[in-house]
Every structure is written in C-alpha cells, then in structure tokens.
Amino acid sequence: MTEWTNWAGDESCIPGQILQPRSVDEVARAVKESADAGRTVRVVGAGHSFSDLVCTDGLLLNLDHLSGIQHVDAEAGLVTVGAGTRLYDLNQALAACGLALANLGDIDRQSIAGATSTATHGTGRSLGNLATQVEAVDLVLADGSLLSCTEADRDVLAAARVSLGALGVATSYQLRVVPAFALHAQARTMPMAEVTGRLDELVDDNDHFEFLVFPHADAALVKLNNRTDEPIRPPRDLARRASEFLENGVVELACTAGRRFPSRIPALNRALTRLMTPTDHVDHSYRVFASRRSVRFTEMEVAVPRAACADVLAEIRRTITAQGLDVNFPIEVRFVAADEKAHLSPSYGRETAYLAVHMYRGMEWRPYFRAVQDIALAHGGRPHWGKRHLLDAEQLAGLYPAWDRFQAVRAQLDPRGVFTNEHVRRVLGPVQTGGRDAGR
C-alpha cells in the first residue's frame, strides 16, 4: 500500500485506496462506491496543509487531472477552472487571457480547491481571502449526485467556499477575476518601533502590506506592494538569485545551526535580519505575490482583530523570551478585509490581522504554538484552517458567528459523515443530525 506524506513531511497516512479520476463521472462513481462500502473519502491537492487535514485510511482522491481553465467570460470577469488546478498554472493561464486574481498568498503551489477550502489568504486591508473570489462551486455528494452551489442558495455557497472538504468533492470553481495588473514591489528593513507606531498608516496607505520579524531582532522586513501603470521592471537576475539564496539557502543553514545549537538562535536571527537588503521592482502581480519556498517547516497562523495586532505580536515576542522558546523562523504578519461570504472564514465580520508562526523541521513546535494560540484566544483569535492548531469543535464553535449555519448545511449535504477523518471529527465534531433538511 502507498503512503501519502504532506509537503512539510510531518503528516502521513496509508489510504485504503488512492485514485486520480479523469472526469467528474469517475469522481462520482468512486465516491458512491466508497460511501456504499462504508469507507470515508478525502481529497488531496498539493499537500500544503500542515495538519492531518486530508489523512485517511479510506479513499484519497487526487484531482490533478481535473485542472485547467474550462471557461472564460472576460467581460463579466468570471472564469471556471478545474478544482485540481495549481495556482501557479492558473496564474499563467489567466495572464495569457489578460486576467488575474485580485489577490494571492505568498505560495502558489496549492490547488485552487485546497487554497479556497481552507481560507488561504494574501494581504491587503480591502481584499478578502481567496474564498471571497469564489462565485460558484460544483460538488459531488456522497451518493454520487452533483450539486452546483451558487447564489441561488447563498447558505450552501457560503458553506462550500470554506468547507475543509467536509461537504463533498469540489470538481470545479467559478472565480471572480480582474484585468491583469502590475505591482510596484518594495521591501526594506524598518525598526520594529516604527512598524508598530505607524502600523495603521502602513496598512491603510498600501494596497498590500506585510512584514516579517525574527524573534530577538529589533528590525522587521516590510513589504509594500502597490498597483502601478509603470512599465514592467523585474528584478535583475543576479539580484533575484541572491534574494532566493538568502531566503532559502542562508535561512536553511541558519535554521540547521540553530536546531543543533539552540543557544545561538538569537544571534543567528539578528544576523539574518542584518543580511536583508532593500529591493525595488515592478512586475506582473502574480510574480510579486508568490515566493519560492524550499526550506521545510511546520506552521500555525492565527487570525485576530486588526486592532489587536500590535498587542498580540508584542505578547508573542515577550513570551518567546520569557519561556526561552527556541524559535528560528520569523513571525509573518498580514492583513485581510472583513467578509461574510464564507461561514467558516477566519475574517468573518471583522478586519483581520493574521500572524503566522513557524518551526523548522525536526524541532518541537507544540510549546510555542500552544503559547501563541493562548495569546490569540485571549483576543478572540481564530485559526487558519490549513495550518496547525490545537483546538477542538467545542472550542471553535464559539469563535465563529455562523458556525451553526455551516453545520446545518453539512448535515444536509453529508448526513452520513462520508467526507470525514480524524481531523474533521476533531475540529468540526460529528455531523449534527436534524439540521437544515438533514438527509434530504
């Protein structure tokens, strides 16, 4: 039997069966056969979730063959794409049509299904997570039937946008797109006192603002990306290679050294901060948004009210020092608009700051992640669904205003709990029978 392992290399499973269907009909047949046999079904894309989100001993579906753009309506600003489409392929295909996604995260390896169903996001106070760009989703349900989730039933669509794969198998998405655009990308170090003192200004005055700060360092790397009509001026090849070497090769060496000699981590972090050099270029949006990542790590990300960002960050940094936590990866801070388009959106109903914390491969992550989670919870924090957290359904239910609405749709679409695994049972709980038209 074949073992499946995620990108980070720290979650794995041995599914009872792995299939790569080539059509929606094949998906429907495989799902129905598995459900009738009492087996559960999960779906995997690039394996970029850091948790056991897709692990199963039942059927594991890979939708790589259900990929590519299926339909383009440039005038309406809509495209339909296969659920297995990788973001890096989608970006290039959209660019060839003179189109783009309005916002992206900083990694483009995921499938569109994996990215949207976990509420993956970029940064920009007026822009929501990737799921807010979803206008419709086609699902295969447990009985093999097909359901098109559209605005005709907003509650179902709001559940399907961010679903953790717990409703059915998404086979295609209709996405809202915009005309292709360029970004003026600037990056430089800035004293942390200045970043926190000017935080509202930096967030409000830039289309896309984010920053990274290493524990024990007094400066942050700030990234300011803004739409522009300037001619494309990509980074020179030498500068690009140097930047990638610093972000991957040098960071890998420093992390390896820090793992072996934890007492040297503060000095190594400060040294990495000093090596950061300013950059300034103009490029196509999708080339600016995405970064190459070869260093393996595990990650947790918390979504807190934007107004709490500076306090939460300060508490995390104090806790690292006070508890003597060995942390050799930066804290990444990004900003997302409020939305109510998805019942399980971590930014539901409020402007949100996301704080991502990481631990290098082979290092113990639980004490650090638990401390960060406790700090975030004290400020009403919610977890990123594709990353690690230590919460269960009972704790999570109180954090999401539309939790019961999602559970009602789940009971309607998957009353037998076919699309579950240990992770889904832990974070969503059992299917709540007796919900909205349950078992219909």
**Helices within 276-402 (DSSP H only):** 285-289, 309-322, 366-377, 393-397
Over the Cα atoms of the chain, what is R_g? 21
Q: CATH 3.40.462.10: does it fit domain 182-385?
A: yes
Sign of CA dihedral 105, 107, 108, 111: negative
d(CA 393, CA 40): 20
If you average pLDDT over every residue of the chain, what do you get? Answer: 95
Does 440 score more than 50 pLDDT?
no
Please enumerate in sequence order all residues whose Cβ is within 8 A of that of 46, keeping only pairs 6 or more positions apart, or say none. 7, 86, 109, 110, 111, 114
pLDDT of residue 439: 36
Distance CA 56, CA 4 (A): 9
Q: Which pLDDT tens digit goes with each residue over 149-193? A: 999 999 999 999 999 999 999 999 999 999 999 999 999 999 999
Helix, strand, or coil (residue 199): helix
Task: Give SS3 for 356.
Answer: strand
pLDDT of residue 437: 47
pLDDT tens for each residue of 12-54: 999 999 999 999 999 999 999 999 999 999 999 999 999 999 9
- Which structure tokens are listed for 403? 């939790």
DSSP state of 16: S
Q: CA-CA distances (angstroms) from residue 50 to 193, 271, 289?
A: 32, 28, 21
Torsion angles phi and psi, residue 180, rounded to 5: -55, 145
pLDDT digits (tens, 9 = 90+) for 380-412: 999 999 999 999 999 999 999 999 999 999 999
Classify 437 as helix, strand or coil. coil
Which three-class secondary structure string do you get for 201-268? Answer: HHHHCCCEEEEEECCCCCEEEEEEEEEECCCCECCCHHHHHHHHHHHHHHHHHHHHHHHHCHHHHHHH
Q: Is the model's pLDDT at 247 over the cut of 90?
A: no
Residues 6+ apart with CB under 8 A from 58: 15, 16, 17, 34, 39, 40, 41, 42, 421
Tokens 């779906």 — which residue? 43
The residue type of 189 is T
- Residue 152 structure tokens: 């005709």
Quote the pLDDT of residue 434.
Answer: 62
* pLDDT over 70 (residue 436): no
- Domain edges within the chain: 182-385
At residue 149, φ and ψ (nearest 5 deg) are -90, 115
User: Each residue of 317-326: pLDDT tens digit?
Assistant: 999 999 999 9
Question: Using one digit for the tens of pLDDT, what is the confidence trace for 6-19?
Answer: 999 999 999 999 99
Q: Residue 90: which H helix or E strand, with range?
A: helix 87-96
* pLDDT single digits (tens) 208-238: 999 999 999 999 999 999 999 999 999 888 7
Give the count of beta carbons closer than 10 Å to the beta carbon of residue 102.
19
**Bridge pairing between strands 59-62 and 41-44:** parallel
**118: three-class secondary structure by DSSP:** coil
Residue 240 clears pLDDT 90, i.e. is over it = no
Between the alpha carbon of residue 301 and those of residues 98, 121, 284, 359, the distances in Å are 33, 11, 27, 12
Task: Give Cβ neighbours of residue 293 (< 8 Å, ≥ 6 apart).
Answer: 107, 247, 248
| High-pLDDT (> 70) share of the chain, % | 98
Collect all residues with Cβ–Cβ distance below 8 Å to 101 and sequence separation of at least 6. 90, 91, 94, 130, 133, 175, 177, 178, 286
| Beta pairing class for 59-62 and 17-19 | parallel
Location of structure tokens 């989100």: 53
